[in-house]
């Protein structure tokens, strides 16, 4: 016997096993086989039968009826019947007996209301279980979204905290002079811009910015200050005067426009971030050798080193 969600189930097969339905007589022919359940049920089960084998002959049509009767908690009788001029040599049936404590079987019509109440209780329990699952899924989804939001906020906090520390350092006259002198060092310099994470180089690939494993002519850039008043704002262009710019998350190389201005900030010694001044997105290198501008926080993917040439 199996137990599935509080239901008791018994499965088996019964074979007629003789020629009692093929005695050559005309009319009804009937034979009964008794079945003992492997394990007694807690209550009287419901039984379903299905024919899995039939050996019969007839001059016109085959007639066979199999019925479960005298059902108790311990067993039942299965009645095999044929009629008219049919001859059945053998027949076998599979049976499934199921008892659910929520639906207590009764042959008394006065118990109909009780059975309906039990059925309603069962449906209510299922509905409650479904609603609890839905609520749990909703909470898990919200929890996942909250974690993502907190992770984004933590990144923002770390980034802003870093920038605040930079601002505090630059408030000192000596640090400000050092920073200003360092920014002026970029102006007019030729550099290879190298991803600090993937060790590949930013290049001009037919008007599109991507990453190359080697540093050659197409990977050499010139950094030019936008004006003397903004020491950390720069144009980045190649020897063909094609300018690096940002269009959404894409990095393009072409004519100078209002998206060709970049802010270069030092993250740590010798490591820099490159932020588009128009859309505030940072230049990123990806693990697929792509160059993107699709984030506004700095992680290792947005950190670069400058190899001056």
Mean pLDDT on 62-80: 94
Predicted confidence (pLDDT) per residue in 255-298, tens digit: 999 999 999 999 988 899 999 999 999 999 999 999 999 899 99
Alpha-carbon distance 94 to 54, whole Å? Answer: 12
Predicted confidence (pLDDT) per residue in 80-113, tens digit: 998 887 788 899 999 999 998 876 644 444 455 5
Predicted confidence (pLDDT) per residue in 149-175, tens digit: 555 555 554 444 444 444 444 434 334
pTM: 0.43
Q: Who contacts 268 (Cβ-Cβ below 8 Å, separation ≥6)? A: none
From 132-141, 176-185, 233-242, the region with the lowest mean pLDDT: 176-185
Alpha-carbon distance 15 to 91, whole Å? Answer: 6
Mean pLDDT on 24-39: 87
Quick check: 36 and 95 in contact, CB under 8 A?
Answer: no
Predicted confidence (pLDDT) per residue in 44-68, tens digit: 999 999 999 998 876 667 889 999 9
Nearest to 272 by CA among 242, 232, 302: 302
pLDDT the model gives residue 135:
64
Position with higher pLDDT, 112 vs 133: 133
Q: Is 302 exposed, middle or buried (0-12, 13-18, 19+ CB in 10 A)?
A: buried
Range from 60-64, 175-179, 181-185, 240-244 that averages highest in pLDDT: 240-244
Alpha-carbon distance 169 to 176, whole Å? Answer: 8
> Residue 19: which pLDDT band, with cuts at 50, 70 and 90?
confident
């Amino acid at each position: 016997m199996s137990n599935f969600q509080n239901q008791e189930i018994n499965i088996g097969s019964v074979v007629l096993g003789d020629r009692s339905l093929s005695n050559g007589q005309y009319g009804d022919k009937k034979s009964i086989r008794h079945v003992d359940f492997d394990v007694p049920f807690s209550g009287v089960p419901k039984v379903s039968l299905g024919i899995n084998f039939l050996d019969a002959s007839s001059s016109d049509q085959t007639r066979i009826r199999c019925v479960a009767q005298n059902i108790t908690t311990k067993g039942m009788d299965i009645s095999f019947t044929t009629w008219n001029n049919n001859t059945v040599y053998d027949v076998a049936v599979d049976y499934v007996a199921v008892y659910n404590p929520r639906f207590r079987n009764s042959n008394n019509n006065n118990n109909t209301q009780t059975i309906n109440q039990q059925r309603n209780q069962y449906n209510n329990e299922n509905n409650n279980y479904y609603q609890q699952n839905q609520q749990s899924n909703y909470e898990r989804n919200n929890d996942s979204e909250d974690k993502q939001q907190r992770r984004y906020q933590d990144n923002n906090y770390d980034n802003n905290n870093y920038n605040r520390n930079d601002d505090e350092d630059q408030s000192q006259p000596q640090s400000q002079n050092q920073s200003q002198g360092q920014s002026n060092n970029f102006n007019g310099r030729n550099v290879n811009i190298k991803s600090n994470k993937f060790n590949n180089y930013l290049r001009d690939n037919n008007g599109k910015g991507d990453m190359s494993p080697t540093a050659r002519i197409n990977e050499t850039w010139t950094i030019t200050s936008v004006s003397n008043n903004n020491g950390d704002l720069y144009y980045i262009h190649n020897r063909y005067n094609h300018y690096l710019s940002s269009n959404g998350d894409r990095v393009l190389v072409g004519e100078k426009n209002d998206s060709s201005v970049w802010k270069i900030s030092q993250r740590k010694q010798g490591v820099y971030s490159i932020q588009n001044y128009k859309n505030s997105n940072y230049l990123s290198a990806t693990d697929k050798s792509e160059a993107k501008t699709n984030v506004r926080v700095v992680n290792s993917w947005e950190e670069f080193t400058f190899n001056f040439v």
